[in-house]
Structure 1
Amino acid sequence: MKNNKLLMIMIFILIAIALVGAIVYFTVTNLNAGPEEEKEPSIDEVIEASVEIPEITTNLASGEYLKISFMVQTDDKKAKEELEKRSFQVKNIIIQELADMNAEEVQGKDGQLSLQEDLKAKVNELMQEGQIVKVYITESLLQ
């Protein structure tokens, strides 16, 4: 009887140690795994979630005029649909941003990157169904 009771206690202790060990193992492996890396979307997914802003011709603050067009990448189809509906607002934002810029501010890689980031931020303020991931300049002619 005493051996039977001792055997039951030993089995209980072994099960408890195994459970604690399993919990610690899964906790440590999940903490070390970190956040899952986001994979880059394929080009088909990018195109599927993008909206083309056709050529816009506008005056710059310095007197020159600029012909420019964009491709705007959204994060999903709902955002794309919303952006398509807001195309007139996006064009308005582009024209207003360019109206305050000089030719020197638009020229060169740094100027174009700055314009893309400014437009992304301004359009994201409008968006309710998603967000803008990236703004691409697809054509640009300064005269």
Structure 2
Amino acid sequence: MKNNKLVMIMLIILITITLVGAVAVVVVLKVTGAENTAGPTIDELLEYSVDIPEITTNLAGNDFIRISFKIQTDSKKAKEELEKRDFQVNNIIIHTLSEKKPEEIQGSQGQKLLEEELKEKVNELMMSGKVEKVYITGSLLP
């Protein structure tokens, strides 16, 4: 009778230790998994980004715009390629803007659409890596 009680207590302790260990593993995996999906750090963003200096160009009609961008790539190789293709990127930006009316790029939604359109067009050029995001860093419409 005493041996059965001792075995039962040891079994309960063993199961408790196992459950605590399993919970600890799950918590550790959740915490480290959340950090990995948080995205790149600001230092990584800057390391893989290219500044496009201010461009002044005509819009559709008689209006003009001054605008500058920062383009985020997915790797150092992609950044280097994008820096070499700066004249092509400027060309894409100028052609895209020349088809836009001022009201199409005003407001948050219009700017997001422009950023997405430029991202897609620049990605068509890229051979190694890709553009992750295009940011408008300055704009001036008269």
What is the TM-score normalised by the length of structure 2? 0.74
Query: Mapping of 1:45-124 within 5 angstroms?
Result: 45-124=44-123
Secondary structure of the corresponding residue to residue 136 of structure 2? strand
Gaps of 5+ in 1: 1-35
Q: Post-superposition shift, 1:128?
A: 0.4
Secondary structure of the corresponding residue to residue 69 of structure 1? strand
Q: Post-superposition shift, 1:66?
A: 0.1
* Residue of structure 1 in register with 2:41 after alignment: 42
What is the TM-score normalised by the length of structure 1? 0.74
AA at the equivalent of 1:109: S
AA at the equivalent of 1:104: E
* Residue of structure 2 in register with 1:136 after alignment: 135
CA displacement 1:68-125 (0-9 Å, x = unmatched): 0000000000000000000000000000000000000010001100000000000000
* Residue of structure 2 in register with 1:22 after alignment: none
Q: Post-superposition shift, 1:41?
A: 0.3
AA at the equivalent of 2:77: K
Secondary structure of the corresponding residue to residue 124 of structure 2? helix
Higher Rg of the two aligned structures: 1
Gaps of 5+ in 2: 1-32
Q: Post-superposition shift, 1:39?
A: 3.6
Distance in 2 of aligned mates of 1:130 and 1:45: 15
Distance in 2 of aligned mates of 1:38 and 1:74: 18
How many pairs were matched up? 110
Secondary structure of the corresponding residue to residue 47 of structure 1? helix
Secondary structure of the corresponding residue to residue 133 of structure 1? strand
Q: Post-superposition shift, 1:63?
A: 1.3
Give me the identity figure in percent.
Answer: 60
Query: Mapping of 1:12-31 within 5 angstroms?
Result: none
